[in-house]
Homo-oligomer: A and B are copies of this chain.
Amino acid sequence: MSKRIVVIGSGAAGMSAASEAKRTDKDAVVTVITEDSDIAYSPCAIPWVFEGRTSWSELVMHDAAFYAKERDIQVLTETSVTAVDGEKKMLTAGGKEIPYDALVIATGSTVFIPPIEGKDLPGVFGVKTVRDGKRLESALKDAQNVVIGGAGVIGLEMAVALRNAGKDVTVIEMMGQAIPRIADADMAAKVQERLESMGIRFVMKAPIQKVLGTDKVTGVTAAGVDYPADIVIFATGVRADLRIPKMLELDIGQLNAVVTAPNMQTYRRGRLVDGVYAAGDMVQCQSSVVSGPTMSQLGSTAVKQGRVAGRCAAGGTGVFGATASPWVSALGGIEIGGTGMSAGLASWYGIRPVSGKATGLTRARYYPGGTPITVKLLADPVSHRIIGAQIVAGEDVTGRINWLTEMINHGVTAEDFAVRAENAYCPPTNMVRDVVLAAADDLLRNIEG
């Protein structure tokens, strides 16, 4: 009999799992169950619709009919899983009982909106799904003042998009810097400066205490000050969606996310659960920088994990490695990216990193169109291992971040990197000595000094 594989969730992890399961076992019957109406898109794409670079229909390229016809995968949209019986391997969804031989849970995360007064007023949004996005789009038609809660990457991307659409945008952030946790203050300041020059207003060190309004939003109170708002968008981080794992009593780790083996199989009371896998924003990963778990919650990580989960659910083998969680964001003509730990996160782990920094250009000095680039590297002061890197430039951040991720994932020291790292040279695409190498030199000097 064909193996029945059920995937819960239709994001990057879920759809990757479903496709890979089918690729691994052509005879498997693969079913995806999702509460969403749209499938197979990445939430990171949503700001780019508001920016006018793409549309809802381009973003959601494949629908359930496509998956049924082209991949022989059944997708049940707008369907909630209300119960799972792990013993009988049977789940209840949309009022029907659905048996499974293997289960991949990939329900992702939900936007964390602080439990404050007024948070449920009309005009308050969290942007995670296309459905949210479309509702926000129509609400924005009559709005001029937008408050964005949280100066993380998604908050800033939305701020830029809405500013470019002519709105008055105020970003209110609890911490003292933009992109806290994953970026260092000096690097984030470059981005904030650029966004301020576009007319985006920043209010820092100001937790949002209250959403104002009676029938609908009229403003927010943050650190005791009122700010007018027709729309409030919370981009205050996401939390793993643990509804299904809790139904199955799966082990939840110290980061409040699902614990998995390297093949994405889940645990219950310390023992592997036969046939039950989890992937994406809802699981905690192994950090490639320090011993212990980390939350990755990136689309690229979700795809990698989903593929491993799908392959293993279908009887194949696979391993998801430790992660440095590289990320890049494009904001108002500049790009910022990072990998491994920021200085702030490192100090949280008791590491006081040594840093090295260099600036230069993204093209040969005599080649037109180059932009300034700043590269910052962080090393553990004991082992001299490089534990983090961040880059701000007008272009070409992503390739360098992936390059530095490869280095971090291999445990390279500053000394080794300074000797071994090489860069290709092409006048239109970089300097003869890439700024990454110059940053490594500065790091070595600071280690020695």
Q: A residues bordering B, Cβ < 8 Å? A: 12, 42, 44-45, 48, 53-55, 58-59, 61, 288, 298-301, 303-304, 319-330, 335, 337, 339, 364-368, 396-403, 405-407, 409-410, 412, 419-430, 432-434, 436-437
Chain B residues with CB under 8 Å of A400's CB are: 399, 402
**Residues on the B chain within 8 Å of A61, using CB:** 365-366
Chain A to chain B: the 3 pairs with minimum beta-carbon distance, closest first: A399-B399, A326-B424, A328-B426
Q: Which residues from B are CB-within-8-Å of A429?
A: 328, 330, 335, 397-398
Asked whether, in the complex, the Cβ of B53 is within 8 Å of the Cβ of A367, the reply is yes
Cβ contacts under 8 Å, A419 to chain B: 319-321
Residue in chain B with minimal CB distance to A42: B432
Min CB–CB distance A234 → chain B (angstroms): 22
Q: A321: which B residues are within 8 A, CB to CB? A: 419-420
- B45, B298, B326, B397: the one contacting A364 at CB < 8 Å is B45
CB distance from A365 to the nearest CB of B (A): 7
Give bound CA distance, A298 to B434, whole Å.
14
User: Of B53, B398, B402, B422, which one neighbours A326 at CB under 8 angstroms?
Assistant: B422
The answer to whether A367 and B323 touch across the interface, beta carbons within 8 angstroms, is no
The reply to whether B337 and A424 form a contact with Cβ atoms under 8 Å apart is yes
Given that A402-B403, A406-B406 are contacting pairs, would A426 and B329 also be in contact in the complex, using a CB cutoff of 8 Å? yes
B409 touches A420 (CB 8 A): yes
What is the distance, in angstroms, from A326's C-beta to the closest C-beta of chain B?
Answer: 4
Given A304-B422, A319-B419, are A403 and B399 neighbors across the interface (CB < 8 Å)? yes
A432 to B299, CA, bound (A): 6
* In the bound complex, CA of A368 to CA of B339 (Å): 26
* A327 proximity list for chain B (CB < 8 A): 424-426
Q: Known contacts A426-B335, A432-B42; decide if A398 and B401 are in contact (CB<8 Å).
A: no
How far is B433's CA from A437's CA once the two chains are assembled, in angstroms?
Answer: 26
Given known pairs A54-B366, A58-B366, A328-B429, the reply for A406 and B421 (CB within 8 Å) is yes
